[in-house]
Amino acid sequence: MATVDVAQPLSSTIEWSPPENWPARSRAECRAILTAPGQRFEMEEIEIRGIRLRTWKNAPPNLRAIALLGQSHADREFVIYEDERVSYDSWFRAVANLAHDLRARGIGKGDRVALAMRNLPEWPVAFFAATTIGAVCVPLNAWWTGAELSFGLSDSGAKALICDSERWERIAPHRGEFPGLETVLVTRHEGEPSAAERLEGVIGTPREYASLPLRELPAVEIAPEDDATIFYTSGTTGKPKGALGTHRNLCTNILSGGYNAACAVLRRGEALPEPKPRTGLTVIPLFHVTACSAGLMSNIAAGNTMIFMYKWDAVQAFKIIEREKVSSTGGVPTIAWQLLEHPERKNYNLSSIEAIGYGGAPAAPELVRKIHEVFGALPGNGWGMTETMATVTGHSSEDYLNRPDSCGPPVAVADLKIMSDDGTRELPVGEIGELWARGPMVVKGYWNNPDATAETFIDGWVRTGDLARLDEEGWCYIADRAKDMIIRGGENIYSSEVENVLYDHPAVTDAALIGLPHQQLGEEPAAVVHLAHGAHVSEDELRDWVAVRLARFKVPARIAFSKETLPRNANGKILKKDLFSFF
């Protein structure tokens, strides 16, 4: 395994210097303060599936508890979607009424309820109606084709499906393939859907939720380790695998996100502020764990307002941010770039933005500087995966500016280690190997796939497939996906290292490195880039840019230019298999 020579801190390359007397406290001191007995982030050690793990003592025990937290926010606005506004009270009424309807249809603990729709006010209603009665919610990728959606329904053995009209049009031709699918509820469908019912016939439209009767949730005992969700992996290679998550997995994220935010304040030497509800623009799909587990759960617990968009559009986002005084947004780096680079940005008042966070894909260090410089906002980043139900590491504000090439240290309840290729030996600090993660956020395994489970989940640890290193203080640096590493004549090339250098060029806003077959060398690196609006740079200029910053063998042999941002899946990961067509 190779070590990485960090000749110059990236904090200096983005022209950021730490403020005087920062950090006021070490990360270890922050952890001691925040996790002390009686504090919000106090931990306790318990046994989960035979493994002793640290957990957040004050985390909600299950998703029913989160729903009740949401109900307590009463008339506070919960979801804004175009001209529809749903309060927490209205949302809870819809959840409880739909939960009782599902129970009346014979759906109970352990039954799978598939959920397939774009980000609509109905999404969090359906999700909590299913999980608060002990059913397992299966959020399906709304970008999938009919055949792919059919795979998810068949693989999960769904007993019920709640979807929007667009998804039903794709699924309906396959309806006969699911004899076990007893109930189909379709929302926003003109007229009566064939072989299905209208969701509005059960709970009305979002505008009508406020007039629904106030009911308690059906009485169901739910333990923290009970099954709650099946989220399917990205499926960039082979069939997607269903990650079986528990109530504890999702509830853990509420405190993990809060812990990272609190650390940033203590590192600054400030007192922790009183929490106050905020308004955020959610631009990534709720069927992804980042938006659902890390986002939706935390927003409900805090009483925040979430704004959904029909589809991502930078100008529409500017209008929403200005009108609703949005304080936070983000999701994946490409969205942050578009907010920064779009020529219309200057026409809108975006001063309410306080934070832009992202994960799901590597981000260029230059992006960190620009967020701080252009918006005056504090950037944030983190690492997680479907198998960890989102947050494992995270950092923001000065910490991120100080280490813009890192995804942060693990939260207090998580552990990381770097392992050799064969998984038998832990590697020392600074060496690159496979990243393994452990904690109460790690899912049980893969649904109906014992072989893949045994290969990936070992003694409480999940083998992530990411190549990474840890520094002396525990900060994590993702080098590459193991399958994306390029081997040129026996030399390892970590694509993110080259991509970060390309991103640092002022003309480049999107970049990806792939390996092209080479007769003598085996592979040679090639890059596809997307340039900022109005920017111009040649292939040779970009190659020279990389050559003065990295070893010659890492310089892309070829560079292609894409008129559009690079193709990504719904989780924000670049679809590198689609880039070979550029060459």
Q: Residue 475 is encoded by which pair of tokens? A: 């900060």
Is the CB of residue 527 less than 8 Å from the CB of residue 511?
yes
CB of 46 closer than 8 Å to CB of 53: yes
Q: Identify any residues that bridge with 87 across adjacent strands, giving them in sequence order.
A: 77
CA distance linking residue 370 with residue 363, whole number of Å: 12
**CA–CA separation, 21 vs 39, rounded Å?**
26
Q: Which residues contact 308 (CB under 8 A, 6 or more apart)?
A: 79, 80, 81, 119, 120, 121, 282
Write out the two tokens for 559: 């560079």
Q: How many C-beta atoms surround the C-beta of residue 529 within 10 A?
A: 25
β-strands 476-481, 461-470: how paired?
A: antiparallel
Please list, residue by residue across 115-137, b when 16 or more beta carbons sit within 10 angstroms of its beta carbon and e when fewer do: bbbbbbbbbbbbbbbbbbbbbbb
DSSP per-residue string spanning 34-89: HTSTTSTT-EEEEEETTEEEEEETTS-SSHHHHHHHHHHTTTSEEEEETTEEEEHH
Rounded CA separation 69/65 (Å): 6
Per-residue pLDDT of the chain (583 residues; tens, 9 = 90+): 343 333 344 555 556 788 899 999 999 999 999 999 999 999 999 999 999 999 999 999 999 999 999 999 999 999 999 999 999 999 999 999 999 999 999 999 999 999 999 999 999 999 999 999 999 999 998 988 888 899 999 999 999 999 999 999 999 999 999 999 999 999 999 989 989 999 999 999 999 999 999 999 999 999 999 999 999 986 544 578 999 999 999 999 999 999 999 999 999 999 999 989 999 999 989 999 999 999 999 999 999 999 999 988 999 999 999 999 999 998 777 788 888 888 999 999 999 999 988 765 556 667 777 888 888 888 888 999 999 998 999 999 899 889 988 999 999 999 999 999 899 999 999 999 999 999 999 999 999 999 999 999 999 999 999 999 999 999 999 887 777 788 887 677 878 889 988 998 999 999 999 999 887 777 899 999 999 989 999 999 999 999 988 878 899 999 999 999 999 876 677 889 899 999 9
Q: What pLDDT is recorded for position 363?
A: 62
How high is the pLDDT of residue 28? 95
* Helix (H) or strand (E) segment spanning residue 560: strand 558-561
What is the residue whose two structure tokens read 């009485």?
Answer: 219
CA–CA dist 273, 127 (Å, integer): 31
3 state DSSP class of 172? helix
Encoded tokens for 582:
């550029």
Longest dimension (CA), the chain: 72
How many Å apart are CA 245 and CA 447, to the nearest integer?
9
Angle, CA of 340, 579 and 335, to the nearest 5°: 20
Q: Coil, helix or strand for 137?
A: strand
Alpha-carbon distance 418 to 442, whole Å?
A: 17
Q: Which domains does the chain have, with CATH numbers?
A: 10-58+244-481 (3.40.50.12780), 63-222 (3.40.50.12780), 485-582 (3.30.300.30)
Instruction: Tell how far CA 520 is from the center of its chain.
Output: 40
* Burial label, 112 (beta-carbon count in 10 A; 0-12, 13-18, 19+): buried
Q: Is 243 helix (H, G, I), strand (E, B) or coil?
A: strand
CA angle, residues 73, 75, 77, in degrees to nearest 5? 85
Q: Can you tell me which residue has the tokens 């059906």?
A: 218
pLDDT of 494: 78
Q: What is the pTM of this model?
A: 0.86
pLDDT attached to residue 361: 54
What is the C-alpha separation between 285 and 281, in angstroms, rounded? 12
Give the DSSP letter string of 425-491.
-BPPTTB-EEEEEESTTS-SEETT-HHHHHHHEETTEEEEEEEEEE-TT--EEEEEEGGG-EEETTE
